[in-house]
Structure 1
Amino acid sequence: MSSVSVRRAVCAGAVGALVVAALGSGVASADGSDPNDGLEIQAPYEQAVVAAPEGGGTAPYRSMALGLQHYNSDYTVTDGRLTVDVSGLTGVAEVQWPADCVPDDAGTVAVCDTGDVPVRYTPQVQLKLRAAPGAAVGAQGTVEYSATATGGPDGTLSVPEYSTETFVTVGSGPDLGVSAPQDVSGVAPGTDLTVPFDITNTGNEVAHGFSVKLWATYGLDVATRYPECTYSGPDDTGSQYPSMTYVTCSFDTEVAPGATVQLPAPLRLAVTRHALNERFDYEVEPAGDVTDLDTSDNGRSWHITADNTADFAVHGTEVSGAAGDTVAAGFRFVNRGPAWVADVASGDPVPAIDYYLPPGTTATSVPRTCRTAAPAAGDPSVPHYVCTLPTWTSPDLKVDFPFRLRVDQVVPDATGRVTVRPYDGSPAFAFDPRVRNNSAKVVVNPSA
């Protein structure tokens, strides 16, 4: 199996995953493991190089990050070999091979050793490219890739030739970028953090001002307020991003080629009492209608994990009914906080709730966020539903699941059970300090 990576990271797309709830769709075996794996080449879809100076001289080299990853952590994948073919750059760009790549005699095809292949991508190969002498602005060429590695369900994973490529274009203009931050964890609620926000122009033209966009998830507050910015919070009516703070700014600071500038004052975030797994996304662009030469480093995501808890609980009910009656026999989910909870990486729900019906009953009305699932282990006669919650679970959230059940047969103390568990299949919620209230009973016709 193989797949081509998404080459341009767009902060708003990742943030949007928190706005729209998503359900998983993987195919797993009976024991919960996934029998599939795939090797992916991580390479930019587009790469810009700066034209050589007019009147002579050579263009500066620009780095291009490459690598491999696979997607199934059940397998260990090693001996990654990434083949890079730059023959399509003739007359457009020149390449400088790193030490972990072995080129052929012509210097146009190299096999690069990426070593062990991770599940979460990190760059493994750093190529350097520069415009060829005499290459005009607008000239374009291609880099093509293939790859192999050892591991996976069949012992070997591969990506065939010509399935992944990078379009390299000779350009001229500003190229603004921000450096990648180091994620932090164990942060105490109430802490203030300073965002590492240096802006560098690696292009060959001045950026006459720049715009900035910021997204802070619900447990973070943007403490620094600039007059050049507009702010909308998660509690604002009609907010574009209802689970976060969204900020847009316009600064008139000029950024010369090779220069690094900062914002007018350090950008500080407040870690609130509701913080848990947080994410701060930021993005910079040249002002006006100017196109940035390379957008791959314009936006960054900073993951911040707070030392906090969220107490998930479910509450059942007791009802009575004669044979043939339909009774309200639902349950309630509560997040007692103090933290909100969201999967800020995937946008998937965090909790799932299993509801096994009481004996002798049939569901006649099911909440729209619930679906039928596999019967109870060891007793296929017990109907089972799985319910999900919104993508984010705010503090003090209370959600009722109003099941209606038909009493087919009167069974004294007919007891169903409700359990909240991690949606992603993890054994427990690491943030939940009380597990006893993660389960409850729904009883039909309790004994007096």
Structure 2
Amino acid sequence: MTTPTPSARRVRGRTVRLGAVCMAAAGLVTVGMATPAFADSDQLWIVAPYETVVPTAAGPGQEPATRTLGLGLYHDHSGFQVTDGRLTVDVSGLAGVAEVVWPENCAPSGTTAVCSVPEVPLTGTTQVPLRIRAVTDAAVGASGRITYSATAATTMEGGQLTAGEGYETTVKVGTGPDLVLEGPVSAEGVQPGSTVPVPFSVVNHGNQPANGLQATFYATRGLDLGTVDPRCTSTPVGEGGTVAPFTRVDCAFDDVLAPGASFTLPEPLRATVAPYAYSERLDINVEARGGVEDLAPGDNGTGVDVRAVNTADFAVRGAKASGAAGETVKAALTFRNRGPAWIANLRSGDPVAAVDLTVPKGATVTSVPEVCQPRTLEGDWYEGGRTGAPRYVCDLPMWVAENQTVTFPFELRIDTVITGSAGTVALKPPYGTQPLPFDPNHRNDTSMLVLNP
């Protein structure tokens, strides 16, 4: 197995928010990217940001603001227990740039410290919150670096794991506003028709004021934000269906946020949960107006889930067609979401489900919808082209509204007349074999395509 270098692992990319489905969204993920683990192997990884910016003091006689770097360890393989993690942090490269305050689980010696992680988890979380700030006389634009190494004990053969080399964080000294969005939190078990509070605030942790604030909200269709504020405008967003899957709300506020100041809406933000809501999402992003660059834009946005107690009855309907040998007949398979909830995979972009057709014996498919892929009878990829396969899997869209129908028009040539030749039409999850968790009625998940009934 080829192991990627730490420089290739440190940045996974940008977090996917609702805005990213329609447009680009921000938010840097700074944990390492794991490779697949084999049954007899494990790998130790270091969680550390690729870079961070620390501001100079906001004014004479003031201390520079402090940042917290979320450091930690994790490993790949659930079959092994990994303990006694030791993360070595070397800050010698910060001379003249920044200084650190070591957390309690770190034992410093000069410019290095060994930080203890007694139980190393399987996911990248913060176990070592390292506080860092610019030195008093640091110049704007100065930069330094922190380097890391790590070991841990494991129950696998050999008993020791060592993280790869090359982990580091670049620390830069900057000036400007640093808006940080705080709250809200996700909500589970919400009843359709109810209203949920989604309070949030914005704090300027930078050393320069933000002269005005731009806030953008993306709400999925099942959440109604109402009139957020008279200074806001709402726009339906999204194409490819009968209704818009999002609402985008843009707000422009003239409030000046001095360093350390906070902002909240004049009236607390609330969302009404629609009768057709199921798995909903609200994303919020803020930035200073006037094109002023934020010192650390990765904490300017957040997303919360609102999960409603609801169901959606997915159903499929087959078709009947008749013809003589050599004739081509049309057969349209139909999917319907009977509701009451709409279903959407807006973050992943995956289809909500798939319709699986087994072609009736004695016939050959000659025309196939674009979203349908040919398969062998066993479900493997069919190598003979798009037509003529014995089975087809048709992807539904990534979202379907309540009471929405989707039709898959096929054309089949009848090679041999077989009275009542039937092929199965079945609703399938997009991946795996587990039943769709929101569908309470599986009696209408299958139907038949019958030729010459």
- 1:270-304 alpha-carbon deviations (Å, 9 max, x no partner): 11112100100001111223221111211000101
351 and 12 in structure 1: CA distance in 2 versus 1, 3 angstrom threshold: closer
SS at match of 2:444: helix
RMSD over aligned CA atoms reads 3.7
Matched, 1:220 2:213: no
- 1:155-182 alpha-carbon deviations (Å, 9 max, x no partner): 99875222x5432211122211111432
Preserved contact between residue 15 and residue 215 of structure 1 (Cα < 8 Å): no
290 and 389 in structure 1: CA distance in 2 versus 1, 3 angstrom threshold: same
SS at match of 1:329: strand
Preserved contact between residue 213 and residue 254 of structure 2 (Cα < 8 Å): yes
Q: Map of 1:205-354 to 2, 5 A cutoff?
A: 205-234=208-237, 242-354=244-356
CA distance in 1, matches of 2:147, 2:416: 67
Matched, 1:193 2:196: yes
Give 1:24's aligned residue: none
State the 1:146 CA deviation. 5.3
Work out the percentage of aligned pairs sharing the same amino acid: 44
1:286 partner amino acid: A
Moved more, 53-62 or 362-371: 53-62
Matched, 1:97 2:87: no
CA distance in 1, matches of 2:41, 2:360: 37
State the 1:102 CA deviation. 4.6
- 1:173-206 alpha-carbon deviations (Å, 9 max, x no partner): 2211111432111101111122121111112222
Alignment: residue pair count: 428
Q: Map of 1:82-231 to 2, 5 A cutoff?
A: 82-103=87-108, 105-108=109-112, 110-113=114-117, 115-119=119-123, 121-145=124-148, 160-162=164-166, 164-231=167-234
Preserved contact between residue 278 and residue 343 of structure 2 (Cα < 8 Å): yes
65 and 187 in structure 1: CA distance in 2 versus 1, 3 angstrom threshold: same
Structure 2: runs of 5 or more not aligned: 26-35, 383-387
SS at match of 1:436: coil
CA distance in 2, matches of 1:157, 1:78: 8
100 and 345 in structure 1: CA distance in 2 versus 1, 3 angstrom threshold: farther
Give 2:423's aligned residue: 416
TM-score by structure 2 length? Answer: 0.82
TM-score by structure 1 length? Answer: 0.83
364 and 52 in structure 1: CA distance in 2 versus 1, 3 angstrom threshold: same
Moved more, 330-339 or 45-54: 45-54
Give 1:443's aligned residue: 450
Give 2:403's aligned residue: 396
Structure 1: runs of 5 or more not aligned: 20-27
Preserved contact between residue 224 and residue 269 of structure 1 (Cα < 8 Å): no
CA distance in 1, matches of 2:342, 2:14: 30
- 1:228-260 alpha-carbon deviations (Å, 9 max, x no partner): 11111258x999x94200011110112222222
Matched, 1:49 2:54: yes
Preserved contact between residue 144 and residue 161 of structure 1 (Cα < 8 Å): no
Give 2:32's aligned residue: none
